[in-house]
């Protein structure tokens, strides 16, 4: 079955460490997105990519980095510069920027200890 | 002003009741509109798209009012399983690559 796979589902990180969240899709989608969600809050856009080797900052990109070397993969690195990284991270994709339906991965829970 | 605004709730209604909530958007050139449902600690899932003429899917009815820039969701004969957070989603013309989410409205159905 086609879909989006995020890993790990739960991750604990010590302060000062970088961590990378994986997002893989086998839907042949061009556009991919990373969102952050805090408890009781909406989704905020971190980065998005419309095509391989290209990505754009979203509303809260500081302290995060991404790469898009392959169409199916859009990993997110949470760097030590991100001051409050504990959150629920969601990866999403759609066939192209004009496509309506958005597909989500199951999310990754990151906790800084 | 936020690009998409929703009443956060929570709405607490008895099973079988009809409940409605709105979402307002600020960009008059917005292109596409959706309602997503998000269960606690899960990813959002598409509930329904919202079309200009209004559309219905079983107990759910969605409407769009472009003049007043809001969309609405009506749930009839609510079930316990309808308890969730409902997210309003808007895609603007100006940047088709962006997807704008409201903060969500929490709905709790009680027996």
Task: State whether residue A64 sits within 8 Å of chain B by CB.
Answer: no
Give the pair of three-digit tokens for residue A12. Answer: 């604990």
Cross-chain residue pair A42–B98, CB shorter than 8 Å? no
Task: State whether residue A71 sits within 8 Å of chain B by CB.
Answer: no
What is chain B's pLDDT, residue by residue, as a tens digit (111 residues)? 778 999 888 999 999 999 999 999 988 777 789 999 999 889 999 999 998 888 999 999 999 999 999 999 999 999 999 999 999 998 875 555 678 889 999 999 999
Cα angle, residue A50 at apex, residues A45 and A53 outer, rounded to 5°: 110
Radius of gyration of chain A (CA): 13
> What is the percentage of chain A residues whose pLDDT exceeds 90?
70
Of B10, B32, B31, give the one whose Cα is nearest residue B21: B10
**CB of A75 within 8 A of CB of A57?**
no
Q: How far apart are CA A94 and CA A96, in angstroms?
A: 6
pLDDT in tens, A37-84: 998 788 999 999 988 999 999 999 999 999 999 999 999 999 988 888
pLDDT in tens, A7-40: 999 999 888 899 999 999 999 998 899 999 998 7
Radius of gyration of chain B (CA): 14
**CB of A37 within 8 A of CB of A87?**
yes
In angstroms, what separates the C-alpha of B101 from chain A's closest C-alpha? 6
**Is a pLDDT exceeding 80 seen at residue A96?**
no
Give the pair of three-digit tokens for residue B18. Answer: 């009809």
Give me the pLDDT at residue A97, please.
Answer: 61
Q: Give the chain B residue nearest A40 (alpha carbons).
A: B103
Q: Give the chain B residue nearest A10 (alpha carbons).
A: B41
């Amino acid at each position: 079955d086609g879909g989006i796979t995020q890993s790990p589902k739960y991750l604990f990180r010590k302060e000062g460490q970088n961590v990378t969240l994986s997002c893989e899709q086998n839907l042949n989608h061009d556009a991919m997105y990373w969102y952050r969600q805090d408890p009781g809050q909406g989704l905020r856009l971190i980065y998005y990519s419309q095509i391989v080797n290209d990505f754009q900052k979203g509303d809260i990109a500081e302290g995060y980095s991404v790469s898009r070397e392959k169409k199916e993969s859009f990993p997110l690195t949470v760097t030590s510069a991100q001051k409050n990284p504990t959150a629920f991270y969601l990866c999403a994709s759609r066939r192209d920027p004009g496509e309506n339906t958005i597909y989500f991965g199951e999310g990754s829970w990151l906790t800084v200890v | 002003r936020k690009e998409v605004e929703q009443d956060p709730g929570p709405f607490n209604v008895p099973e079988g009741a009809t409940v409605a909530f709105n979402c307002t958007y600020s960009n008059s050139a917005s292109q596409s509109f959706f309602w997503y449902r998000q269960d606690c600690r899960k990813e959002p899932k598409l509930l329904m798209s919202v079309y200009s003429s209004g559309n219905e899917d079983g107990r759910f009815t969605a409407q769009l009012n472009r003049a007043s820039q809001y969309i609405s969701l009506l749930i009839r004969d609510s079930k316990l399983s309808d308890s969730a957070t409902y997210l309003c989603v808007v895609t603007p013309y100006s940047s088709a690559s962006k997807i704008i989410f409201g903060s969500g409205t929490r709905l709790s159905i009680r027996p």
